[in-house]
Amino acid sequence: MPNPHARLAAALLCMSTPLPAFAQTTSPPAKAQETPLTMVAALHTAFGEHHARAVHTKGTILEGSFTPAPEAKSLTREPIFAGGTVPVIARFSLFAGLPDLPDNDDGASPAGFAVKMIAPDGDDFDIEANQHGNFIVATFDEFALFLRALGAAGKGDNAPLGAFLGSHPKAKAFLESRTYPASFSTAVYFGVNALKFTNAAGKSTFVRYRFVPKAGETYLSPEARKSAGPAYLGDDLRKRIAAGPIEFGLYAQVAGPGDVVDDPSTAWPDTRRLVKLGSFRLDHLPADPEAAQKSLLFLPGQVHPGVAPADPMLVMRNTAYPISLGQRQ
């Protein structure tokens, strides 16, 4: 059986290699009609089946609290942003779907950050974000096509991936612009899927989430990353949490005129207004980290009072994740 790291490394090498001339003129593949089940299967095609999360497989869970900011109520009537401090379960993760992926591997980026705010009324509020200002493609269907092409490249057939990147310049630019954090706690994380917020007065606004680290941003050069070690991100989190809390501010980036809400591959301008929604303070590990990894499920596309998904990809993600949860039990 091929070594999964070798397979992934070969695919990632193909991503950074100049595309063959034919790829620049190859027509995009016919649009697929993906379902949550076929998406999970596509993830397994790219990364293999491990009875673990299908993607963002390797990660570290922390617990702490969330305190809403007063200005959050100007955007949404959701109770989690209007009440007091609530408990939080958070998970930092590497991108690729390999449970033993080295932290310094090319496939580790974009890193992920997900939070579950434990609501007093049982309507827990989940957010998932990536350490990149936009997503690799615009649609669920395109992502499945990319994953299948990545799986083929891992088996030595680079043509599908070359053709895909040749017909998807945004995806190629995404892969070439990835950064790698010095610490999970010193990266900005972006919620690339838009939501519709509605406040108590009935005014609606489109937003995307953004997590900003209190410790500031620090990223590694390619040379520093390769020498950082295969567990540097997880080890750093455990050291930091032993010394003090890890803190993030949660913001809503407010859409402006012309900003698209159904294309996560297009970032909104940095000049758009940011409204603070609250603050996270993560200060301890879960009592049973292994059990938490197995059972923790995030549903970022759930509808809440004053919050609804605006990007169709959120709805599909919300239905694909429970399938992956069942497969890892």
Measure the CA–CA gap between 62 and 161, rounded to whole angstroms: 36
**pLDDT value of residue 12:** 52
**pLDDT value of residue 29:** 43
**Assigned domain for 233 exists:** yes
Helices (H), the chain: 4-16, 36-47, 140-154, 159-167, 169-176, 222-226, 232-243, 289-295, 312-327
pTM: 0.91
CATH (domain of 83): 2.40.180.10
Please enumerate in sequence order all residues whose Cβ is within 8 A of that of 139, keeping only pairs 6 or more positions apart, or say none: 312, 313
What letter would DSSP give residue 181? B
Better-predicted residue by pLDDT, 14 or 227: 227
Report residue 239: phi and psi, to 5°.
-65, -45
- Whole-number percent of the chain with pLDDT over 70: 90
192 pLDDT above the threshold of 60 = yes
279 pLDDT above the threshold of 50 = yes
What letter would DSSP give residue 191? -
160 pLDDT above the threshold of 70 = yes
**Assigned domain for 289 exists:** yes
**Assigned domain for 306 exists:** yes
Which tens digit of pLDDT belongs to each residue from 83-106? 999 999 999 999 999 999 999 999
Tell me the pLDDT band of 311, cut-offs 50, 70 and 90.
very high
The stretch 213-220 carries a mean pLDDT of 97
Highest mean pLDDT among 28-32, 246-250, 292-296: 246-250
Tell me the pLDDT band of 329, cut-offs 50, 70 and 90.
confident
Which domain range does residue 321 map to? 60-134+179-327
Residues 286, 272 contacting (CB under 8 angstroms): no
Q: What total of structural domains would you count in the chain?
A: 1
Which of 173, 167, 151 shows the shortest CA–CA distance to 30? 167
Residues 108, 101 contacting (CB under 8 angstroms): yes
**Assigned domain for 273 exists:** yes
**Assigned domain for 173 exists:** no
The stretch 287-296 carries a mean pLDDT of 93
Which tens digit of pLDDT belongs to each residue from 9-56? 444 544 444 433 323 323 344 455 899 999 999 999 999 999 899 999
**Assigned domain for 144 exists:** no
**Assigned domain for 256 exists:** yes
Please enumerate in sequence order all residues whose Cβ is within 8 A of that of 203, keeping only pairs 6 or more positions apart, or say none: none
Tell me the pLDDT band of 312, cut-offs 50, 70 and 90.
very high
**pLDDT value of residue 328:** 85
**Assigned domain for 166 exists:** no
Residues 115, 90 contacting (CB under 8 angstroms): yes
The stretch 300-307 carries a mean pLDDT of 97
**pLDDT value of residue 76:** 98
The stretch 175-190 carries a mean pLDDT of 97
